[in-house]
Chains A and B, each alone.
Chain A
Amino acid sequence: MPDGMNVDYDGLIPNNVDLASDARVKKALETWHPGYIDWWKDMGPDGFQEALVYLRTAVSVDPKGWAKFDYVRMPEYKWGILLAPRVEGRLIGFGSHKGEPAWQEIPGEYRGMLRRLMVIQGDTEPASVEQQRHLGKTAPSLYDMRNLFQVNVEEGRHLWAMVYLLQKYLGKDGREEAEDLLRRRSGDADTPRMLGAFNETTPDWVSFFMFTFFTDRDGKMQLEALAQSGFDPLSRTCRFMLTEEAHHMFVGETGVQRIIERTCEAMKAAGIEDPGDTARIRALGVVDLPALQRKVNLHFSLTLDLFGSEVSTNAANAYNSGVKGRYREDKLDDDHRLLDSTYPVLRCRDGAIVQEAVPALSALNMRLRDDYVADCQGGVNRWNKVMEKAGIAFRLTLPHVAFNRRIGEFSAIEADPEGRVMDAGAWAANRDRWLPTGDDNLYVTGLMRPVDTAGAYASWIAPPKVGIDNKPGHFEYVKLWDA
């Protein structure tokens, strides 16, 4: 059998990395564990720690038996350390070390770079749990509540995954970083999370679905790029995390899709054809589509900021050193070194948006961002099919990458969602057409009333097509009162 298939359940921490015979890391993790549980209780879902939640637990890395579904109290969730099986003879697939055997230990010269990447990745995982901790109280159904909690516990597991790497491969520094991951708090003035978007609150469920669709998708792209890493344990960790991350994509995409379905259905039932007839549509207790578009504009633009500078030395270094690849590098057909090629990048030159050919190595952030945009566009197209099918004359679009940016080239200018550059005054005058307004937020907040009867859904969201684990519609995904 390939190495790493065996899952050890005997210890405190389920793992397939033979923790039992690694006293140093085992001790480090067991020392870290109580702090983690305290963090979960302090910062995890507020008010639902005792509820029985029908959760999926990753128990193996073998696809035949990788997950189990069962009712679990979240603090008792088995957060384990699971790495995709080691591929014998795996070679580094890109950069200056292309063709050399993948590293099983961190090469000294890339220590800092790997540590930084792992800490940043690790920091986003608990951050979103913190951002979402109050949402359980306004869940539109037990199904959605369960999905929220599933996302939360898996973000928790992803934190474990990064902490394991830090503790296993980065010694004392790694242990300190692992502690700091528990100390930072999303939105805290003194100890904020590292990335901007992870310090914003997730105030309502529409935001939550948008966040999981757009922002978690950035996480997916980063994981995809790290899954290509020449540092094999990181690659294996990320490959396994991606399996779980897919569920988060699912929650976001279908969440928004179900909102659209419900809105379309309600509009048709009421005989409303104009998607802009906000007052009448809102009287139906559903989310009007233009408001949804404004949410799209906001979350998309905030997430683009996470991709960093358009032209980036760090990205180039990480690629060339074999530490972080491109999205699905192994499926790309080129020299995987990129020393001589260029990549077209949209840049801001004297206040105008122009396309420039940039050395491909320096443009890797943009390459990943372009892949991200294409991935988002696929989801938006599927949302639009719902409207098309329902015969509602409205389509959602992704705003231009220059719209509403705070980081990178376009932070210096103002552009509308079509990418037309304008002065700050004109932009401000139109802001409420493009980004969620105070009214939007008040209205959406007003919709957020908890629905906790099995099989029932809030007025603004349609039931899912398929239940989790094939469960029927009335399945009680969260047992609130047995707790």
Chain B
Amino acid sequence: MSRIDFQTEPGRYRHWRLRFDGAVAELLMDVDPAAGLFEGYELKLNSYDLGVDIELSDAIQRLRFEHPEVGAVVLRSAKENVFCAGANIRMLGKATHGHKVNFCKFTNETRCSIEDATEHSGQTWICAVNGTAAGGGYELAVSCDSILLIDDRRSSVSLPETPLLAVLPGTGGLTRITDKRRVRRDRADVFCSTEEGVRGKRAVEWRLVDEVVPPSAWEARIRERADEAAARSDRPRAATGVALTPLTRRFTDDGVAYGFVTIACDRAAGRATVTVAAPAGPPPATLEAARSAGFWPLQAARELDDAILHLRANEPALGLLVLRTEGAAAQVLAHDAFLEAHQGDWFIREVRLYWKRLLKRIDMTSRSLVALVEPGSCFAGTLAELAFAADRSVMLDGARAGDNRPPAALALSPLNFGAYPMANGLTRLRARFWGEPDSVGAAQARIGAAIEAGEADALGLVTMVFDETDWDDEVRIMLEERASFSPDALTGMEANLRFVGPETMETRIFGRLTAWQNWIFQRANAVGETGALKLYGTGVQPSYDKARV
């Protein structure tokens, strides 16, 4: 199978078009049926596969970075009478379980990034449903801030997965209708089991959409709402965007080399080492100088993001990710200080938000994550979050013989205490110290200091500390042992332990909804030879094992 590439740009889009008019942008979905990511299905009726979503994700990202003037984004369909029919069923029917899971995870992350843009970037997403929005189509709509539904007496919104496909609306649909749109749960039950969905007045009454608009008033009303939203935005109308220029990447059999990030695969051991390098020098002198794709925090984030997505999609057998950093911790902290000092700037805000989302993506990655904190590493500030995201972090105590670099040290910056909340709303340190809140304060008191192994251990910032004598064997055995466990059990265990404490809509989506969906995806009722996903489109009715599990 050819490599799935998460990098694209508007000139290469097959499925989307962007239109700009002052502070309002329109993102038009116009899926090319013939341009599916794989063979064997057609993307009819604006149905999507991972390829469509990669473009969507790219568009969302570019709207944020390249278009500071845009305060409102209207998401709509360029096709007549259909908004979006959701994920392509034939694709799902043919896909491996692993692909389905990864696909759903990515689409969920993309939907969350739409909400993030509305909530934090001053870019309000408005969905103009000008035709049928079914399943994933409606889930796309509910990830927007508000939904307008055209009242042409035929356009409807629906979540027909359960009656039609024997699966769940797994891209947040089940969660968002109750948690975000606050649809009464019994009505949600009716809605989610009604194949044809709901349209018109009832859709508003049930809070499934915000407004129904007659076709004659349609365009004007969309524009009106978009203008209102844009007027509320704090984004600078006159600013120039930062172009997200293509990443420099080099793929080899054993890995990928980016500017600041490298992936080294050890296929025999079933693991990959991801190394992030610190910036070579101090942050730019001015904000203006920072505004480029080469600004270290932005470039490193883009590279690491792509690396994680690449590993998820293309290297499923590498179950263990070893997280490393290298370079000058001081430069990382200096960049953190720059990010902190200019946090009111639209671009710096976007960079910080990007890191927030990237770290969440790492949290959601179903690989065992082990951070190795060694001499020469720079787990400082923003990069220290990688160690806190890992399932375990192991720190070398002291220096290695013959290595004249200083002993390994961790460092904290103010960004570790609020800039990068997890899906559960907690900082990684608060989640880490869920049972010992005082430890957060103790760590916070050490902002800026080089925290060597002994202190790090005492503060609870690392899992284990080994000196040089034990290091190689302990690390080797730990990694080998980890690689020997059932990958399924590890995925489940890690996903449970990473998210302590409170539930949020997001954790419910990635936890409860995704877990059930992934279970259903394994069941014969959905994917067996006579299951609904397999038979969809053949006209043959699925037959279900009616026993409840």
Q: Which residues of A does B touch, CB under 8 Å?
A: 95-96, 112-113, 115-116, 180, 183-184, 189-192, 194, 309, 313, 315-321, 338-339, 359, 361-362, 364
Contacts and interface: CB of A to CB of B under 8 A. Distances in A.
Nearest to A318: B539
Interface residues of B, number: 19
B540 A112 contact: no
Contacts of B194: 112
Nearest to A181: B153
Given A112-B163, A112-B195, A190-B214, A316 B153 contact: no
Given A113-B195, A183-B153, 20 more contacts: A112-B163, A112-B194, A180-B153, A189-B214, A190-B215, A191-B214, A192-B215, A194-B153, A194-B154, A309-B44, A313-B89, A313-B537, A316-B539, A316-B540, A317-B539, A320-B538, A320-B541, A321-B541, A361-B538, A364-B539
B152 A191 contact: yes
B151 interface: yes
Contacts, number: 58
B106 to A, nearest CB: 25
B536 interface: yes
A166 B537 CA distance: 26
A60 B195 CA distance: 37
Nearest to A315: B539
B286 interface: no
B132 to A, nearest CB: 11
Interface string B515-549: 00000000000000000000011111100000000
Contact of B538 (A113, A190, A192, A316): A316
Contacts of A112: 163, 194-196
**Which are the 5 A-B pairs with shortest beta-carbon distances?**
A316-B539, A320-B539, A361-B539, A190-B214, A112-B195
Contacts of A315: 539
25 contacts: A96-B540, A112-B194, A112-B196, A180-B153, A183-B153, A189-B214, A189-B215, A190-B151, A190-B214, A190-B215, A190-B216, A191-B153, A192-B153, A313-B89, A313-B536, A313-B537, A313-B539, A316-B538, A317-B539, A319-B539, A320-B539, A320-B541, A321-B539, A339-B540, A359-B538
Interface in B138-183: 151-154, 163
A189 B216 contact: yes
Nearest to B213: A190
A21 to B, nearest CB: 31
A283 B397 CA distance: 105
A187 B153 CA distance: 13
A189 B536 CA distance: 35
Contacts of A319: 539
| Most interface-central of A113, A315, A317 (chain B CB within 10 A) | A317
B152 A362 contact: no
B539 A115 contact: no
A309 B214 CA distance: 27
Contacts of B153: 180, 183-184, 191-192, 194
| Most interface-central of B215, B216, B536, B537 (chain A CB within 10 A) | B537
Interface in B295-318: none
A359 B216 CA distance: 42
Nearest to A337: B540
Given A115-B196, A183-B153, A320 B540 contact: yes
A116 to B, nearest CB: 6
A155 to B, nearest CB: 19
Nearest to B540: A320
B413 to A, nearest CB: 54
A130 to B, nearest CB: 14
Interface in B225-263: none
A92 B430 CA distance: 65
